[in-house]
Amino acid sequence: MSVPHAILALLSESPKYGQRLQSEFEARTGRVWPLNVGQVYTTLQRLERDGLVESDGDGNGERARKQYRIAPAGRRELDDWLRTPPDLVPPPRDELVIKVLVALQVPGTDVHEILQVHRRHVIEVMQRYTKLKAADAGDVPLALVVDAELFRLEAIVRWLDAADVRLKQTDLPSRRPESAPATTTEAEATPATEVSQ
Amino acid sequence: MTAALELRQVSKTYGSGASEVHALRQVDLAVEEGELVAVMGPSGSGKTTLLTIAGSLEQPSTGDVLVDGVDLGDVARSEQAKMRRRSIGYVFQDFNLLPGLTALENAMLPLELDGVAAKAARAGAQRALEELQVADHADRYPDELSGGERQRVAIARAIVGQRKLLLADEPTGALDSVNGDAVMRLLRAATDRGVAGVVVTHDAQLASWADRVVFIRDGRIVDQTLPPPGPESLLAFGDRS
């Protein structure tokens, strides 16, 4: 999250005091990114030093009494930032992918069971996000933040589902339980945990 | 407390001999009043069979199905049909509204089939449409409604009267995600009022609206989610005020 650019965006509407910038930042980001007022003033100082914002204070007065406004250079910086794509290249090592690749190598490990453990965990996190969204239908910034997380988590579930199918289609010897003969079907080899309510 | 729906050791087998298919294997599942359960699994996992058996549209090969404490195996077919009409509502992916009937007439249908007088059926359907916020479109035909509105009418038809159990098969499959959200919000509201709901889906976002997600693979229930902690745990601040 770029705090300087979020502050520039808030100042692009109208000049504001530091305290108000902090409360508006949190309200407009669904309150999922907390920001303390000290961070706001540190950021404002840097932005002022770089000529991206201006203040109407006398320079040595109390910081809470200074009102800040966006400078022309700040508006250009904000426009550029909005149009610059974020880094979409994934991290070099995705931990979940690595765990599944490792599971393929460990004798006696049922990869489908490993996939299910992660699937359940991801869905439990999704349930919590959905509850958050369900609780407040009118909070649009919150809904946008939660939607972004839900789509990201859904993509993980879809990858787990695809991995399940791909591994079923290619019956690697290493993922069979240790003592199971090659002809044993998966359902017989891995007794399912029945759920009783 | 009696579960609104209970499946005990339910199995379903189609065909015989070499072509025998085990669609469900010893499934145990109980859904309480006011609970929304999602059944999640890939295509061919048995989730739709589970739903049609839960709704008594199909008989299990072995095992028992209890709706509101009544074992469907113990009642005559005619009595089953009556329970199906009075206690169970169905929502399908493709809405299944009758094109020649208005929204109101579609929502009235289950009550009329059950012998409720036209005036009372009309009033019940009107209430259901109001609950689903489509009462303004009561006189419109399905082809005059958007996808989201059609699904709202279908849900109104599913909850009309005194339904105990709401069964939905990929209810948001034909909708975009924002309209899908709105439909899930309405299903959630119906269960919050005390109806028990079962939604089968392969869609993780849809499933995440449920209180509990059970996972089905090759006809068996293999896993389920734990009761979720509050959403506050996701926030960096405990206090969102």
Three-state DSSP state, B219: coil
pLDDT in tens, B89-127: 888 877 789 999 999 999 999 888 888 899 999 999 999
Assigned domain for B159 exists: no
Q: Which residues of A touch B30 (CB under 8 A)?
A: 197
* Residues in chain A whose Cβ is within 8 Å of chain B: 31-34, 112, 116, 119-120, 122-135, 137, 147, 150-151, 153-154, 157-158, 161, 164-165, 186-187, 192-197
User: In the listed set A52, A83, A114, which residue is the last one of a domain according to the structure?
Assistant: A83
Q: Are A110 and A177 in contact (CB under 8 A)?
A: yes
Q: Is B239 a member of any domain?
A: no
Q: Are residues A99 and A66 in the same domain?
A: no
Residue B171 falls inside a structural domain: yes
Q: Which of A134-148, B3-17, B59-73 has the lowest mean pLDDT?
A: A134-148
Instruction: Quote the pLDDT of residue B75.
Output: 87
Instruction: Confirm whether A26 is domain-assigned.
Output: yes
pLDDT average, residue stretch B169-185: 82
Q: What is the pLDDT of residues A87-107, one digit of tens each?
A: 777 666 788 999 999 999 888
Three-state DSSP state, B10: strand
- Report which of residues A92 and B43 the model is more confident about: B43
CA distance A58 to A159: 57
Give the pLDDT confidence of A119-144 residue by residue, as tens digits. Answer: 999 999 999 999 988 887 788 888 89
Same domain, A115 and A173: yes
- The last residue of one of the domains, among A57, A83, A109, is A83
User: Which SS3 state, helix, strand or coil, does residue A131 take?
Assistant: helix
* Nearest CA distance, B48 vs chain A (angstrom): 18
Does A101 share its domain with A185? Answer: yes
pLDDT band for position A173 (cuts 50, 70, 90): low
In a domain, A89, yes or no: no
Q: In this structure, are A60 and A99 located in the same domain? A: no
> Which amino acid is present at B232?
E
**Which residues have a Cβ under 8 Å from the Cβ of A182 and sit 6 or more positions away?**
A171, A173, A176
Total domains in the fold of chain A: 2
**How confident is the prediction for chain A on average, in pLDDT?**
83
Query: What is the reported pLDDT for A46?
Result: 95
Q: Is residue B216 part of a domain?
A: yes
Residue A195 lies in a domain: no
Give B49→chain A minimum CA distance, Å: 18
Nearest C-alpha in B relative to A157: B204
Instruction: Give how many domains chain B has, as a whole number.
Output: 1
Contact B214 A187 (CB under 8 A): no
Q: Is the dihedral of CA A107, A110, A116, A121 positive or negative?
A: negative
| Domain extent for A41 | 3-83
Q: Is residue B143 part of a domain?
A: no
pLDDT of residue A151: 95
Which pLDDT value is given to residue A52?
Answer: 96
- Entry pTM: 0.79
Residue A192: is its pLDDT beyond 70? Answer: no
The answer on A71 and A10 residing in a single domain is yes
Q: So what's the ipTM on this one?
A: 0.84
Q: Is residue B130 part of a domain?
A: no
Q: Check residue A60 and give its pLDDT.
A: 59
Contact criterion met (CB < 8 Å) for B225 and A123 = yes
Please indicate, yes or no, if residue A173 is contained in any of the structural domains: yes
Q: Give residue A121's pLDDT.
A: 95
Contacts of B236 in chain A (CB under 8 A): 32-34
In a domain, B132, yes or no: no
Residues A39 and A77 in one domain: yes
Helix, strand, or coil (residue A169): helix
Say which CATH number the domain at B53 has.
3.40.50.300
β strands within chain B, DSSP E: 5-14, 21-31, 36-40, 62-67, 70-71, 88-92, 165-169, 196-201, 212-217, 220-224
Looking at CA atoms only, how far is residue A89 from chain B in angstroms? 25
**pLDDT at site A161:** 94
DSSP H or E run through A88: none
Q: What pLDDT shows up at residue A58?
A: 58
Q: Which residues of A touch B26 (CB under 8 A)?
A: 194
Give helix A72-83 / helix A3-13 axis angle, nearest 10°: 120
- Long-range contact pairs involving B58-61 (C-beta distance under 8 Å, separation at least 24): B58/B12, B60/B10, B60/B11, B60/B12, B60/B24, B61/B11, B61/B12, B61/B13
Q: Contact A4/A43 with Cβ under 8 angstroms?
A: yes
B98: left (phi over 0), alpha (psi -120 to 50) or beta: beta
Give yes or no for a contact between A37 and A26, defined as CB atoms under 8 angstroms apart.
Answer: no
Q: Look up the domain containing B56 and give its range.
A: 5-94+165-234
- B105's tokens: 């007439």
CB contact under 8 A, B215 and A120: yes
Q: Which of A31, A48, A83 is the last residue of a domain?
A: A83
Query: How confident is the model over A38-60, as a mean pLDDT?
Result: 88
Domain contains A22: yes
Tell me, yes or no, whether A103 and A183 share the same domain.
yes
Task: Name the most confidently modeled range: A28-37, A187-196, B193-202.
Answer: B193-202
Mean pLDDT in chain B?
Answer: 88
CA distance linking residue A63 with residue A76, whole number of Å: 26
| Assigned domain for B28 exists | yes
Long-range pairs of B117-124 with CB within 8 A, sequence gap ≥ 24: B124/B160, B124/B161
Q: Which residues of A touch B226 (CB under 8 A)?
A: 124
Would you give the distance in Å from CA B5 to the centre of its chain? 11
Same-domain pairing of A78 and A105: no
Of the residues A32, A39, A127, A144, the best mutation for testing chain B's interface (the one with the most B CB atoms within 10 Å of its CB) is A127
Over residues B179-237, the pLDDT tens digits come to 788 888 888 988 988 899 999 998 999 999 999 999 999 999 999 998 766 666 665 44
**Tell me, what CATH number does A11's domain have?**
1.10.10.10
Helix H or strand E segment including A68: strand A67-70
**Which residue in the set A120, A137, A196 is minimally distant from B185, CB to CB?**
A137
A139, A116: one domain: yes
Q: Are residues A99 and A183 in the same domain?
A: yes
The length of chain A in residues reads: 197
Taking 50 as the threshold, does the pLDDT of residue A195 lie above it? no
